[in-house]
């Protein structure tokens, strides 16, 4: 199985080659925590007009996304719809749900 943090890092890197995606994060300053079951926690830090994936637990996350590691990989790859996953209970969000949804805008 692929590592969810590595997959997110790859997807974010590719997304930020598109100027319209760079515009989406311009001026943002927030951190999203990810807790995949069966894999190490990691977080996405959006600041200074860039997005960086880091290992571990963030101190200031606005939302925490909890799901299986495989579901997380599938969501990052566009194979699993985050809204459907949330509605079916495969994805849980702790914290600000609307901030978590902003990730979908960057990925999609």
3-state SS, residue 20: helix
The CA-atom distances, in angstroms, between 15 and each of 1, 9, 39, 106 are: 22, 10, 24, 7
CATH of the domain at 87: 3.30.1050.10
3-state SS, residue 36: strand
Q: Which residues pair with 45 in a beta bridge?
A: 31, 52
Contact call for residues 90 and 67 (beta carbons, < 8 A)? yes
What's the full length of the chain, in residues?
108
The pTM assigned to this predicted structure is 0.92
Report the distance separating Cα 15 and Cα 35, nearest Å.
Answer: 22
Structural domain total, the chain: 1
Q: Give pLDDT tens digits along the chain (108 positions).
A: 899 999 999 999 998 998 988 888 888 899 999 999 999 999 999 999 899 999 999 999 999 999 999 999 999 999 999 999 999 999 999 999 888 887 777 766
Range of the domain at 91: 4-107
């Amino acid at each position: 199985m692929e590592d969810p943090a590595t997959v997110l890092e790859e997807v974010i890197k590719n997304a930020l080659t598109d100027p319209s995606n760079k515009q989406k994060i311009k001026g943002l300053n927030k951190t999203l925590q990810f807790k995949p079951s069966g894999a190490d926690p990691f977080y996405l830090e959006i600041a200074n007009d860039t997005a960086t994936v880091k290992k571990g637990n963030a101190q200031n996350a606005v939302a925490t996304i909890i799901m299986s590691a495989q579901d997380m990989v599938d969501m990052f790859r566009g194979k699993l719809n985050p809204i459907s996953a949330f509605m079916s209970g495969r994805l849980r969000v702790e914290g600000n749900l609307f901030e978590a949804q902003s990730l979908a805008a960057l990925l999609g």
